[in-house]
Chain A
Amino acid sequence: MSLRKDLQELREAEVISAETEERIQQYYQQKSEESGSRLFVVFGILGAILIGLGIILIIAHNWDDLSRPVKTIFAFLPLLIGQLAGIFTLLKRYDYTVWREGSAVFLFFAVGGSISLVSQIYNIPGNLSSFLVTWMLLALPLVYLLRSSVTSLLYIIGSTYYAVQMSYWSHITPPAYLYWLLLLLIIPYYYRLYRVHPDSNYTYFHHLFLPLSVVICLGSLANGYGILLFVAYMSLFGLYYLVGNYWFTGQKNDRNAYTVIGSLGTVIILLILSYDSIWEEIRQESLPFIELLSAPEFWAAVVLSVVAGGLLLRSTRKHAISKLQPVAPVFAVFILIYIIGLYSAVAVILVNVLILLVGLAITRKGARQDHLGILNYGLLVIAALVLCRFFDERLSFILRGTLFVLVGIGFFFANYQILKRRKAHAE
């Protein structure tokens, strides 16, 4: 092994002591063991997921030839196996991630499988959403007792599926309030994971899955005043962005899912609202205050805006306003535009200006940080705005053409400048 040789050479040259040599060797040995066991964990979990899903599929075949008692035994068999594996893990293998994750994941699917099979045997239609809730609630304690992050992620997916099934895909579509309770129940685990293992992959996936789940399910609150959800979504994305920028500051940019989701979401909602047709709807919508007080969309918008606003204020107190991240204050500006939009058609122009400013601010940040990714993201925002206007027949062809040419030149020029500067630095 070359490392050993190198160390030997360094010791003989008296660069390092014999003790240091040993410690370095130990360090690398331990590291290679860790990465080996990590691979083992990944395969263990994948295996458990595949077996679990496989059992569900095999069950879903609906074996007509088996008698009711035999089917009933099969309904309980995977469950019992999973539970025994869980008990064995608790007694003998609690310190092994692969055992905790593997048995919890297997049991997660066994619970779903056994309820499924009973539903089949007795022809219980029990709609999909109530099935999912029962399943998730029976599986949730596994996350805490076996400290299983993968089960936690599966639980988040299942809860999201429940809300979507309940509120988007059903004939009678009440807001899935229970989803928010389900989500709340996983937060302590998420918090602990973040505190204890801030840099692990599991934590990263939680950073990704939880905010995305909320993004997907916030729309399920639509109950007559859906148009208010634009405010709620903007504030949610603003909140994500602030959380990502001022909370998870230690994290690398590409691992900070909150910032990415917040930023992309903000831009997408603004682009949707850069068309006048939606503002026409907003202007026509009457919002009687008394009725608003019982509308879930209204409260979602208020709560999210207040929380995001509070965080924004805190961050401006800590950092100078000029150092504020480009997307951070957008949601607050948007609330003003929305209020204007209730009465006046000028709002759509303001939104277009806002997107342009956001795009420019991001581009400027990219240029300052010498970061081509951020720079081009900013330019892409501007390009997207122009592209949206390209299909806007109310603008003249000459104006649109000029805009395109200008943005194109901007792309070239900005990238060229940065590359030139880098070259100058290198020399």
Chain B
Amino acid sequence: MLNKKTILILFILLALVQLYVPAKMILSREEVIASGSEYKFKTAPVDPYDPFRGRYIILNFQEINVPVADLSDWKEGDDVYAVLGTDEEGFAIFTEALKSPPDADQDYLATQVEYIVENEEKGLLLILPFNRYYMEEFKAPAAEQAYREAGNSTGRKAYALVMIKEGEAVLKDVLIDGVPIREYVENAIDDQP
């Protein structure tokens, strides 16, 4: 049996580790936000639910397949380093899928293959580690609805603002027609009779 002093020291060590884990999560995100490069991903918000972490909107990214030369090189769950570029409208696209990180001057995202698309648009569908945007519980469903109504009538554009550095990505904001989704929802709620 351990004596009390040892237990106390071990407990303090444990407490430090318990503090370190969330602190590390915060610091690494802050660094990406501070010094990463910004990309806009075209998206559509949907509203699911997580029992521990509450309401969020999930972002359904569009046209985000990565073209690859040979599909047989890849299988679901593989690690992938996807090189980023932008299209003529300024939205992010993946230009290339690699098995190891690219040269230092290229931005890329480190993730896994979610699904292999085998129809004519063949390519890889990636797990995008920034597809959740947490919102207050009553606003998340409203956000989805507001977007759907707006999208149907006028075809507005929604996109996610993502900071990327050395493969790590942090979702900074979601914007609908250039308006942050939180404000957009508040406006929509205010507009309701």
Contact = CB atoms under 8 A, between A and B. Distances in A.
Interface of A: 56, 59-64, 72, 75-76, 79-80, 83, 86-87, 90-91, 94, 107, 111-112, 114-126, 128, 131, 134, 138, 141-142, 145-146, 171-172, 174
Given A62-B135, A123-B170, A125-B130, A91 B19 contact: no
29 contacts: A60-B137, A62-B56, A64-B182, A76-B22, A79-B18, A83-B15, A86-B15, A87-B11, A90-B8, A115-B25, A116-B53, A117-B22, A118-B22, A118-B26, A119-B25, A119-B53, A121-B134, A122-B170, A123-B130, A123-B171, A124-B25, A124-B132, A128-B50, A128-B52, A131-B52, A131-B53, A134-B21, A138-B21, A141-B14
Interface in B138-156: 139-140
Contacts of A80: 19
Nearest to B6: A145
A116 B52 contact: yes
B15 A61 contact: no
Nearest to A83: B15
Given A60-B52, A62-B136, A63-B136, 8 more contacts: A62-B134, A83-B18, A123-B56, A123-B171, A141-B14, A145-B7, A171-B115, A172-B114
B54 interface: yes
Contacts of A125: 129-132
A60 B54 contact: yes
A123 B19 contact: no
B40 interface: no
Interface residues of B, number: 40
Given A83-B18, A115-B21, A118-B26, A62 B55 contact: yes
Contacts of B52: 56, 60, 112, 116, 128, 131
Nearest to B53: A116
A64 B139 contact: yes
A239 B115 CA distance: 40
Contacts, number: 117
Interface in B86-132: 114-115, 129-132
A351 B108 CA distance: 58
Interface of B: 4, 7-8, 10-12, 14-15, 17-19, 21-22, 25-26, 29, 50, 52-56, 76-77, 114-115, 129-137, 139-140, 170-171, 182
A72 B7 contact: no
A56 B54 CA distance: 9
Nearest to A139: B18
B136 A61 contact: yes
A83 B8 CA distance: 11
B132 A123 contact: yes
Contacts of A111: 18
Contact of B25 (A94, A122, A171): A122
Contacts of B130: 123, 125
Contacts of B115: 171
A117 B22 CA distance: 9
Ordered nearest first, which 10 A-B pairs have the shortest CB separation? Answer: A60-B54, A125-B132, A123-B171, A120-B134, A122-B29, A83-B15, A64-B136, A118-B22, A116-B53, A141-B14
Contacts of A56: 52
Nearest to A90: B8
Contacts of A60: 50, 52-55, 137
Among B11, B15, B22, B170, find the residue whose CB has the most chain A CB atoms closer than 10 A: B22
Contacts of A116: 52-54
A56 B25 CA distance: 19
Contact of B18 (A118, A121, A131, A138): A138
Given A90-B11, A123-B132, A138-B17, A62 B182 contact: no
A120 B53 contact: yes
Given A116-B52, A172-B114, A122 B17 contact: no
B114 A171 contact: yes
A114 B52 CA distance: 11
Given A145-B14, A172-B114, A123 B21 contact: no
Contacts of A117: 22
A109 B114 CA distance: 32
Nearest to A53: B52
B53 A86 contact: no
Contacts of B17: 138
Nearest to A135: B52
Nearest to B77: A172
Contacts of B135: 62, 64
B114 A62 contact: no
B47 to A, nearest CB: 12
Contacts of B50: 60, 128
Contacts of A145: 7, 10-11, 14
Contacts of B8: 87, 90-91
A115 to B, nearest CB: 6
A174 B77 contact: yes
Contacts of A64: 135-136, 139, 182
A427 to B, nearest CB: 57
Contacts of A172: 76-77, 114
Nearest to B12: A87
A123 B53 contact: no
Nearest to A123: B171
Nearest to A57: B54
A116 B15 CA distance: 17
**Residue of A86, A123, A124, A142 with most chain B CB atoms under a 10 A cut-off:** A123
